[in-house]
Structure 1
Amino acid sequence: MLQNFIFFLVIVGIIVLLIMLANKIKVAYPILLVFAGLGISFIPGIPVVHVEPELIFLIFLPPLLYEAAWNTSWKELWRWRRIIFSFAFVVVFFTALSVGLVANYFIPGFSLALGFLLGGIVSPPDAVSAGAILKFVKIPKRFSSILEGESLLNDASSLIIFRFAMVATATGQFIWQDAAGSFVWMCLGGVAIGTLIAFIFMKLHKLLPTDVNMDIILTLMTPFIMYITAEELHASGILAVVSGGLFLSNRSHTFLSSSARLRTVNVWESFCFLLNGLVFMLIGLNLPQIVGGMGETSIYTAFGYGVLVTVVLIVVRFFAAYMAVITTVVMRNFISVADPQMPSWKTPVIMGWSGMRGVVSLAAALSIPLTLEDGSPFPQRNLILFITFVVILLTLVVQGLTLPLLIERFKIQDPDFTKPAKQIDSEIQIELAKIAVDKIRKEYPEKLEKFPVLKDQLQAWETRLNSSEIIFNYGEYEKIYKDILEAQRQWLINKNRQELLLDEEIIRKHLRLLDLQQEKIGMG
């Protein structure tokens, strides 16, 4: 037990080092983690990593999807709702159907149910992989918004397909009427359950005498309770987590204090950072076991099947991207659409090439049970796992390494945000200062003499209003201000060392304030 603990501790350390390396060389970290896991798995004496299939969904998916929903803009989600919903449901179903038919025709021993099962696993693109790749290039906000929104919902739709295919594989039959009714309940029930539990937790935050630590613990519990409750009621746990996360994220300012919001974000970022790293490392670590269990199918043949499925996924996504543009051009004559401009031919190319697979596909594949209810081995389980691995690897490496080059070559301008971000930031700061000055002048003029600090703050806000300078590129000013903050930070550290009776918590508080100042002006 102790040996395995040390092994996982080393794995976490390797994950951190590899992600730092990926940021340094500007390569998406999932690529390095997959190859690292594969390399580590061949080291003699390495412990076999085995996670119970039924725990995969419960451990990884609820927190990862909850954090993604929390950070998703409802405004952008609603703005691009038509294309997001079409990609998340229609395209996912069409992709799963295409993969199912191709697998049934070309892969020996694959029934249509098994083909659909494989299609449900590999159909959803992964937002984590796309986000890790797109962070190194400048891309219009609409692309990232569509990819984020699509990934939230297509996880749910693909896993619903996955569940129905599992039932069909296990029972050998598929009743469309029952499936349609179950599909409606899974969608509507999942959304209703997630929203209801989110509302209950919001009330708990408001009514209970919680502190910041308790608030953080409650947020960590929330996605798991949403998921488990929905699954127990045979609804979609994924949709419950997504809908609940969206509900709470848009109301976080009403039930969480500013301190709780700041610290909750930090905790969740670290938690999901670790989960994502472990999942991509697991992809590589599990490959030798998967290959060993494929039986008579050679690794070269299985790899060929993986390439075939990957090509199907890419072709279907390109087709869907161009159909979305054509539909937009046609339908704009009859209804109002989110984008009034004429779409460029480059748009569907970027969308079509952004279909990297990752966390959800792996979790779904690993969750396939080892045996059926009668005790017989689950048919083609290891081949499905290997094909999923090849799809994830190929889309990450081929699309992941070339997508930034494609975006740089196309030089797509952002049609939505034409002002520089720093100009928008400065304008907002000026408007906020104006609100503060008006508030003090109108409602608290008699308090200015009583509270000199209020007078000083008013003067600072008025100075900002009277200044006509808007800094677009900080340049030398940035270096000077950073040097000042560093000098203040060093003075605090030295004072803490020299005065033995000084409460160190006070020093830490002021160090955090300096960090917030540095973060606020974008110098972190």
Structure 2
Amino acid sequence: MNAAIVLAILGVLVIATATALAPRVNIAGPLLLVIVGLGVSLLPFIPAVEIDPEIILVGILPPLLYSAAVSLPAIEFRRDFGPIAGLSVVLVVISALALGLFFTWVIPGLGLLSAIALGAILSPTDAVATSIVKRLGLSPRVVTMLEGESLLNDATSLVLLRTAIAAVAAGGAVAVGEFVGAFAWGVVVALIVGALVGWANLRFRAWVGHSAANTAVGFAVPFVAYLPTEQLGGSGLVAAVVAGIVTGQGSARWFTAEQRLSDTLNWRTVELVLEGAVFLIMGLELKDIWNENVAENDGPLRAVWLALAALAIVLVVRTGYVALIVLLQGRRARGKQRERLDEFGARLDAFEHDDAPLPAHRRGAHRERRIASLRKRLTRSLADLDYYQASPLGWKHGGIIVWAGMRGVVTLAAAQTLPRETPSRELLILTAFLVAVISLLVQGFTLPAFARLLRLPPENDALTRDEQDRIDDELRAAATDALTRPGLHRRDGTPFPPDLIQRVGSRLAEPPDDDESLAHRDGLELRLALITAMRVRLASLARSGIGSAALRHALAELDADELSLRLRLDGEE
């Protein structure tokens, strides 16, 4: 027990050191931890390390994916959901089938289903690419696509793996419809359970209120989503992702500023430790996997050859599929959608100002609601089109998406779940391990140089600036509306002095800190009330087409202002 505690402490210190050192040596933290683990495992006095894969699949992946899903830019995720779903599902299946045919050909006696199982293990990409691409300052659209792919393709891989292993155990017979049905059931169950858990999480934590208790509840959420979904035959990882997305999108409405700040810091720490531990373990397990393969297969050269060939196959398949995505997205951005949307807007204007008699079912409130709904859809569609045209996907972006498709955590853990009776099991595990390590180190280290070689142009941030200006105008209008409406009151329910509201209203266009009328307690209370009104308006803007980055920046500013005001008010009591 004492030895385990010491190792855990040393592991945390190594992860923290690698994280601090990585930017100084211009290496991504996870890559540095893999190198450290590999180096330590080769020391003669270090015993072989073997970690139960269930610890990674059940204990580490759900909170890791949940944490990433909470901070996922949901608006951009929706805009590119088509290509993300294709990368996460279609590409994984195609890659698994291609690898399955290859392994069946080169490994006698393996069998097609076992070969497809290995192909499924090697198909999903790892989220470490996202952190590298973010550090390079490349297109946020590319980052979102890579992040969305890494969140969802694990489920496709594990469902395909589970189905193939079950078919082998049943005698080798499996129908295409059976696999499709199993996959559909896994996804549907995960969507339902994950959405319910996310919905319950928002409301329960809003009711709890207590900051420390909220943190404890938050840590349990990914497992609450994962475990029952797995029992029902669904994908627990997808359920954890869905719960994270629901929580992240609802936090602005249901959580307090303190809860949001606490969640951001806590999950960032959890993500750092868990992700670092996995990559450190990946390096440490080399000795045990290597020695087992040497004992069973008279050397690792065959595994090295298989790993290089498999990596070449997945890169070729990925290149072809990403080229198709880039082609389709390019046509989408260059299409005539703008003309069609403008025509639709003109017809909507004519319909709104048409005074001709209308049928009964189109009169009154129903007609107004219908027009408002169509206006929102039109605004969102125009904003989406602006996004596609401001961040087009070219062949250079496609090159980054291809080369950033590294294998990692899931490949390592899933390989060790292969049944003991699988032919050439040690060879398959080492092959999967080498694919993960080689792709991480080779692609991870060369990705910055590859991006420089492509000479990608800097992103145009004009759209973001326009969105920020629009948000500022909307928040100023929300504060003005709140000042003109009756019912504005302090936290204790008492109304504000009318002269204070009048002074603040007349000076609202100027920075609030320059207004001496806001220096006293009533002024601080009024600013808190206005922040509440502005946050409500900000939540409504999430459906107007404004990007996630601008909305989250504005929300963080409001939260910081609120926490500062509350601290000053508490100091005056």
TM-score w.r.t. the length of structure 2 is 0.73
Between the aligned partners of 2:196 and 2:513, the Cα distance in structure 1 is 49
**Contact preservation (8 Å) 1:120, 1:158:** yes
**Contact preservation (8 Å) 1:29, 1:132:** no
Question: Secondary structure of 2:135's match?
Answer: coil
Question: Secondary structure of 1:361's match?
Answer: helix
Between the aligned partners of 2:448 and 2:231, the Cα distance in structure 1 is 42
Q: Deviations over 1:44-101 (max 9, x none)?
A: 3334433323333111111011111111122111101111111111111111111111
**Contact preservation (8 Å) 2:330, 2:394:** no
Which has the larger displacement, 44-53 or 343-352?
44-53
Which has the larger displacement, 341-350 or 91-100?
341-350
CA distance 1:331–1:13, shift in 2 (3 Å)? closer
Deviation at 1:430, TM superposition (A): 6.6
Between the aligned partners of 1:459 and 1:401, the Cα distance in structure 2 is 57
Between the aligned partners of 2:224 and 2:336, the Cα distance in structure 1 is 40
Matches within 5 A, 1:7-26: 7-26=7-26
- Paired position in structure 2 for 1:248: 247
- Paired position in structure 2 for 1:389: 433
Percent identity, aligned pairs only, is 29
CA distance 1:280–1:459, shift in 2 (3 Å)? farther
Deviation at 1:168, TM superposition (A): 2.8
Between the aligned partners of 2:451 and 2:167, the Cα distance in structure 1 is 42
CA distance 1:461–1:413, shift in 2 (3 Å)? farther
Between the aligned partners of 2:513 and 2:212, the Cα distance in structure 1 is 42
Is the counterpart of residue 357 in structure 1 residue 407 in structure 2?
yes
CA distance 1:450–1:395, shift in 2 (3 Å)? same
**Contact preservation (8 Å) 2:18, 2:32:** yes
Q: Deviations over 1:201-251 (max 9, x none)?
A: 333234x44411111111111111111101111111112112222122111
- Which of 423, 429, 432 is matched with 1:379 structurally? 423
Matches within 5 A, 1:137-286: 137-176=136-175, 177-206=177-206, 208-286=207-285
Between the aligned partners of 1:89 and 1:198, the Cα distance in structure 2 is 23
1:307 is aligned with what amino acid?
L
CA distance 1:458–1:18, shift in 2 (3 Å)? farther
1:162 is aligned with what amino acid?
L
- Paired position in structure 2 for 1:366: 416
Deviation at 1:330, TM superposition (A): 5.9
Between the aligned partners of 2:560 and 2:395, the Cα distance in structure 1 is 48
Between the aligned partners of 2:35 and 2:208, the Cα distance in structure 1 is 48
CA distance 1:302–1:203, shift in 2 (3 Å)? same
TM-score w.r.t. the length of structure 1 is 0.79
- Paired position in structure 2 for 1:107: 107
- Paired position in structure 2 for 1:464: 511
Deviation at 1:153, TM superposition (A): 1.5
Which has the larger displacement, 301-310 or 436-445?
436-445
Question: Secondary structure of 1:136's match?
Answer: helix
- Paired position in structure 2 for 1:489: none
Q: Deviations over 1:403-439 (max 9, x none)?
A: 2222233333466633576x86577557645643564
Deviation at 1:6, TM superposition (A): 0.9
Between the aligned partners of 2:416 and 2:67, the Cα distance in structure 1 is 22
Q: Deviations over 1:261-301 (max 9, x none)?
A: 11112111111110000100111111110011111242122
**Contact preservation (8 Å) 2:125, 2:408:** yes
Between the aligned partners of 1:188 and 1:270, the Cα distance in structure 2 is 31
**Contact preservation (8 Å) 2:303, 2:430:** yes
1:405 is aligned with what amino acid?
A
Number of residue pairs aligned between Structure 1 and Structure 2: 463
**Contact preservation (8 Å) 1:113, 1:165:** yes
- Paired position in structure 1 for 2:358: none
Matches within 5 A, 1:45-84: 45-84=45-84
Matches within 5 A, 1:266-345: 266-294=265-293, 295-328=296-329, 339=388, 343-345=393-395
- Paired position in structure 2 for 1:135: 134
CA distance 1:424–1:185, shift in 2 (3 Å)? closer
Which 5+ residue runs of structure 2 have no aligned equivalent? 338-383, 515-558, 565-573
Is the counterpart of residue 436 in structure 1 residue 483 in structure 2?
no
